[in-house]
Amino acid sequence: MNEVKIKRSILARLIPRLTSLTKRGPSGWMIIVGIVIVSALVIMTVIGPYVSPHDPSAILVGPIRAPPSLQFPMGTNHLGQDMLSRVLCGGSIMLQVAAFSVLICFIIGVPIGLFSSYVGGFFDSACSLVIDALYAFPGLVIAIAIAAMLGPGVINMALSIAVVYIPSYFRIVRSQVLSIKELAYVEAARASGSKWYTILFRYIFPNVIPSIVVVVTINFADAILTAAGLTFIGLGVAVNIPDWGWDLTKGRELIASGTWWVITFPGIMIILLALGFTFIGEGLSELLNPKLQR
Amino acid sequence: MKNLPILEINSLAVDYRTSRGTIRAVEDVSFSIEKGKTLGLAGESGSGKSTLGLSIIRLVPYPGVIAKGHIKIGGTDILKLSENEMRSIRGRKVAYIFQDPMTSLNPVKRIGAHFVELICTHEPTMKKEEAFDRAKEVLKNLGILPERINDYPHQFSGGMRQRIMIGLAIALNPDLVIADEPTTALDVIVQAKILDLLESLRKIYGMALILVSHDLSIILERCDEIIVMYAGHMVEYATNIELHRNPQHPYTQGLLRSIPNIELSDQRLSAIPGSPPNMLNPPKGCRFWLRCPQAEKECSTKEPPLVNIGRNHFIRCFRHGEEDSQ
Amino acid sequence: MGLRSYIITRILLTIPTLLLLLSMVFLFMRVLPGDPVYLHFEKKATPEQVEQMRHLLGLDKPLWTQYIDYLLGLVNFRYFLQHGYPNLGKSMQNYEPVGGQVFSAFPATLELAIYSMLIASVMGILLGVISSKSYNSVLDHLIRGLGTIAYAIPVFFLGIMFQLIFGVYLHWLPTGLRINPNVQPPAHITGLYTLDSLLEGNLFKFFESLKALLLPSLTLGIVLSGMFIRLTRTNMLETLRLDFVTAARARGLKESTVTYGYALRNAFLPILTMMGLQFAMLLGGAILTETTFSWPGLGSYIVSRINYRDYTAIQGAVVMFGLFVTLVSLVVDILYAYFDPRIRL
C-alpha cells in the first residue's frame, strides 16, 4: 500500500510539470513525445513476457522463415521463432546495457569533472589533456577494443560504452563549473568559511544538473546504438535471451533469401528507442539554451 | 517652390508577431522628407525608431511585419514592389548605415571587395577594375589611404570602420541615407568627426539624411526637422527652430531638461522618472501618462491624436498650448 | 603570426598529443584484466605454448621495455623505408607483421571515409542552409525531422536495408567487393581505387570502383548527414542574425550572395571544426559499414582479428585509427587558420 502511495505522489508531482511543458512551444512537445516513446517501449519490454502470444525463445512455434501473416504478424525467423514475441521482449538487454553505462558514466565522470575543475591548476590541466585525447578518439573503436578484451556480457558491454562517454560528462560538467565557480555567491560562501565539499555539492552541483540531464539522454541514445553495433560485430551477449541486436545480426544473414522481416521490425524498435531519447535530449537542450528564442 | 519629397510615409504601423503575442512597435507614423534635408528621429531604446528606419527599406527582422500604411520613395509605393525591385532600391536609392561598425562588415572580406561587390551588383556593366578605381576614390574622400583597400575589417579601428560604412552608403550616390545611431558605438571625439563627415558628404552629394539617435543633443545640432518618438508613437514633429523655441510635448520637455549644461556648475541631472511601457500590453490612453508631470484624468483613458498646432508643428498630447509647469 | 609559422607550431604540438595517444593505447591493452596470450588460446593451450608465444611477441619483457620497444618501433624509419609500413608488432595468428596488414587494409577505409564525408557534407550543408533560410516553416521541420531520424538509424541497419532494396530486389550493384570481380583493380599508386583509375587514365575502372563505393558511402554518408544538417542549421541561424548580414541586404546584394558569401562563409568555420571532430565518429561508423558490406578495409580487419582473438593486431589497428584521427584534426586546424585571417594574427 505504501508503494502505491509513493508512486501516486510522484505521479501527482510529475503530471503538472509535464503539462506545463506543452506551453513551452515545440521544444516542450518534443520532450513529451520523447518521454511517451521511451515509456511505451520500456513498458512494452517489461510486460512483454506476459503478453507475448508465444514464448519468444521457443523454436518451431510456426513454419521457418514465414512472412508476416495474421497468425504471425511479424513473421518467423530461421528457427521458427515468433518475431512479434521476440520484438515485444527483445529490448531488455539494450535497455539494461544503456542504463548501466549511463550509471557508470555518471558515477565516474561527474565527480571527476566536479573535482578537477573546482581544484583547477595542474591537476585540472592534466586531467583535461587526458580526457581530450580520449574524447578525440573514435568511440566505437575504443568500445570494440575494450569489449574484445573483456569478453561478452551485459556489464562488460556497459563498461566499454561507458569509457567512451565519460569524456562528454567530464567536459560538460567542467565547463559549467568553471563558469559558476567565479560567481559572486560562490565567492561569498568561500569567504564565509564554507568547506570545499559544501560549496561543491550545495552551491555548484545543483546548477550543473540541467546540463547533465541533457548529456544523459543523448548518452542513452548513443549507448543503445553502440550496443547494437557491438552486438552486430559479435561482441554482444552470448545468451539465448531475445534481443533486438541479436535479431539484427541473424537477420542480416537471412536477407539474401529475401527474408526482410526478421531484421526490419527489431531495427525499427531500436530506431524508435534511440529517437525517443534523442527527442528528450534535443527538446531539453533547446529549452535550457534558448539562444534561438526571439 | 517646394521640392518633391524623396520619402513619404503615411500612417505606418509595424508589428512583431512573436509566440507570446503581437507587439506593435510602430504606430500611426506619418512624415516626409525632401532631398537635401536632414530629419532627426529621437527616442529612447524601444521607442521604435530603429524599427521605423529598417521598415523604410523593408528589412524589419523576423518576426516583424509592416502591418499598415504606405511608404513612398521617389513617388513609388515600395510596399507594392517585388523583392527583386526592392533590392535594386537598397544601396542605390536608399542607403542604410548601421549602428555598430565593429559588426557591420563581413569579417572575411577585404574592404575593397565590399565596394566592388556593391558597385558591380547595381551596375552590372561595370568592369572590376573600374569598380576598384571608384572604390579607391570613395575611400580617399573618406580619409582612408587607398593602399589599405586590400585590408580586412578587423585591421581598422571603430571610427575608420564607420567611415567605410559611410563610404559604402554613399558610393552609388543615393537619394536618401538613413543613419541608425551612427556614433553611439564610438567615442565622443570620433563622434563629432563622423557627424561632420556625414554633413559634408550631404552637402556635396545633395542627398536627404535621416539621423536616428537617442541623443537629442546631436539631433538638435544637426537636423532640419525633428521627430520625437515614444513607445512606437510620434509624439512631436517640428522643425528644429520650432522645437528649440516651443517644445510642447511633456516628454520632449523632459528630454531637453535632462541634457546637461556644461556651463553650469553644481548641476543636478534631471531625469524622466519611470521606464518605457511593456509593449505587449501598452497602457490605456496616452502611452506616456504614467511618467508625465502634466497628466490629467483624460490622459489615462483616451489616446491623444496627432494635431497640427501651427507652423507645421505636430504634437500628440491633450495638454498642448500650456506652459511648461517647471 | 603568418600562416607558415602557425602550421609549424601546430605540427610541433601534435607530437605530445600523439605520444599521449600511443601511450594510452598501450596502457589499455595491458591494463585490462586477462592475459592477452592466454585469452588468445582460449584457455586451450599448454603453458609451454603460451610461453613460446609470449617470448616471440616480446610480451615476456618487463612493461617498461615493452613500452620503449613499442614507441621505438613506431618511429623506426629504417624499418618503414624497408617495408613500406611501420613496425606495429606481429600478429598472434601467424606472426606476420601487423604493420603490413594494417597498411594494406587502410586505403579501402580511407576511400570509404572520403566519399562518405563528401556525401554527408554536401547533403548536410545544403539541407542545413535550406532549413535555416526557411526558419520555422514546414520545410524546416521536415528537414530537421529527417535529419534526426537519419542520425538515430543504426548505420548497419540502413546498410542492410540498402542491400536488400538495391542488391536483392533490384539486382543492381555488386556487394562485397571494391570493384566488379571481373575487372582488374587499377595499379596501386595511392591505394584509392577511384584515384588510381584516374591516374591510370582508365575511366571504365573509375566508374566500376565508384559503383562499388556507392552503397557503402551512401549509407555512412546519410547517417552522418543527420548531424551535419543540425550543425549547419544552428550555425547558419546564428550567423544570419548578425549585423553584417542585414547590412549586406541593406546594400541590395542578391539573396544568394548574402546566404553563401556572407552567412555561410562565416558560419563555415565552426562547421568545419565540428566536421573534423565528427571524423572520429565516421571511423566508428566505417567499421560497421565495412562489416555490413564486407568492404575490405581496416574496420573489417579489426573485426576479423577480434574473432581470432589476435590482440597485437587489434592494438596495431587501434594505433592506426588514432594516428589517422590526429592527422585529420591537424589538417582541419590548418584549414581553419587558412580560412580565418583573424586567427593567424
The predicted model gives C237-246 an average pLDDT of 90
Contact C34 A149 (CB under 8 A): yes
C53 CB within 8 Å of a chain A CB: no
Q: Which amino acid is at B92?
A: R
CA–CA separation, A4 and B10 (whole Å): 68
Percent of all residues in chain A with a pLDDT value above 90, rounded to a whole number: 6
Residue of C nearest to B178 (CA): C250
Contact B122 C339 (CB under 8 A): no
pLDDT at C245: 93
Query: Alpha-carbon Rg of chain C, whole angstroms?
Result: 23
**Interface pTM (ipTM) of the complex?**
0.85
| Terminal alpha carbon distance of chain C | 5
Beta strands across the sheet bearing B233-239: B94-97, B176-180, B208-213, B38-42, B225-230, B233-239, B314-315, B307-308
CA–CA separation, B218 and B228 (whole Å): 13
Checking DSSP bridges between strand B64-73 and strand B225-230, what pairing results, if any?
unpaired
Contact C266 B107 (CB under 8 A): yes
Contact A233 C329 (CB under 8 A): no
Size of interface B-C (CB pairs under 8 A): 75
Torsion of CA A9, A10, A15, A20, to 10 degrees: 120
Domain range summary for chain B, segments of one domain joined by +: 5-230
CA–CA separation, B130 and B136 (whole Å): 10
Checking DSSP bridges between strand B5-18 and strand B64-73, what pairing results, if any?
antiparallel
CB A218 within 8 A of CB A278: yes
pLDDT at B316: 87
Q: pTM, whole model, 2 decimals?
A: 0.81
Higher pLDDT, B196 or A23: B196
pLDDT at B215: 86
CA–CA separation, C84 and C173 (whole Å): 34
Could you tell me which chains touch chain B, where touching means 3 or more CB pairs under 8 A? A, C
C342 pLDDT exceeds 70? no
Residues of B in contact with C241 (CB under 8 A): 61
Higher pLDDT, B129 or B1: B129
Could you tell me which chains touch chain C, where touching means 3 or more CB pairs under 8 A? A, B
Band of residue C55 on the pLDDT scale cut at 50, 70, 90: confident
> B257-290 pLDDT, tens per residue?
877 777 777 677 777 777 788 777 777 888 888 8
- Write out the H or E segment, with its range, that includes residue A155: helix A154-181
The predicted model gives A282-288 an average pLDDT of 79
Percent of all residues in chain C with a pLDDT value above 70, rounded to a whole number: 86
Q: Tell me the helix, strand and coil percentages in chain A, rounded to 5.
A: 80, 0, 20
CA–CA min distance B166, chain C (Å): 12
Higher pLDDT, A135 or B156: B156
CB A85 within 8 A of CB A59: no
B40 pLDDT exceeds 90? yes
Higher pLDDT, C48 or A36: A36
Among A221-225, B243-247, B322-326, which is the least confidently predicted range? B322-326
Residues of B in contact with A25 (CB under 8 A): 19
Q: Which amino acid is at A232?
A: F
CB C202 within 8 A of CB C185: no
- Mean pLDDT for all residues in chain B: 86
pLDDT at C35: 65
- Mean pLDDT for all residues in chain C: 81
> C189-237 pLDDT, tens per residue?
777 777 777 777 878 888 888 888 888 899 999 999 998 998 899 889 8
Could you tell me which chains touch chain A, where touching means 3 or more CB pairs under 8 A? B, C
> B302-319 pLDDT, tens per residue?
888 888 888 888 888 887
Contact B18 A294 (CB under 8 A): yes
> A53-99 pLDDT, tens per residue?
888 777 777 788 888 887 788 888 888 888 888 888 888 888 988 99
The predicted model gives A200-223 an average pLDDT of 82
C329 CB within 8 Å of a chain A CB: yes
pLDDT at B326: 40
CB B149 within 8 A of CB B136: yes
CA–CA min distance C288, chain A (Å): 7
C5 pLDDT exceeds 90? no
DSSP string, C64-91: HHHHHHHHHHHH-HHHHHHHSS----B-
> C299-314 pLDDT, tens per residue?
888 888 887 777 788 8
The CATH fold of domain B5-230: Rossmann fold (3.40.50)
CA–CA min distance B73, chain A (Å): 30
Which of C241, C243, C253 is the closest to B98 by Cβ?
C243
C20 CB within 8 Å of a chain A CB: yes
> B108-134 pLDDT, tens per residue?
889 999 999 999 999 888 888 888 888
pLDDT at C203: 82
pLDDT at B59: 92
- Copy the grid coordinates of residue C10: 601546430
C338 pLDDT exceeds 80? no
pLDDT at C219: 92
Closest to C151 measured CA to CA, from B135, B99, A221, B195: A221
CA–CA min distance A285, chain B (Å): 19
Residues of A in contact with B19 (CB under 8 A): 25
